[in-house]
Structure 1
Amino acid sequence: MSIPNEALQKLVHEIESQALVAQQQIGLTKSQVASKQREQRLIKLTLGEVSSLPDDTVIYEGVGKITTLPDADEQRFASLPVDSLREKLDVQGKDIEGEVEKLNKRLLYLETTQKNSREHIEQMLRGR
Structure 2
Amino acid sequence: MEFSNERPIYLQIMDLIIQQILSKQLLPGAKIPAVRSLALELETNPNTVQRALQELERETILYTQRGKGRFVTENQELLARLAANQRQELMEEYLKKMQEIGIEPKAALRQLQTYIEGGNS
TM over 0.5: no
What is the TM-score with the length of structure 1 in the denominator?
0.31
What is the TM-score with the length of structure 2 in the denominator?
0.33
Structure of larger gyration radius: 1
- Considering fraction of residues, name the structure with more helix: 1
- Considering fraction of residues, name the structure with more strand: 1
User: RCO higher in 1 or 2 (8 Å CA, sep ≥ 6)?
Assistant: 1
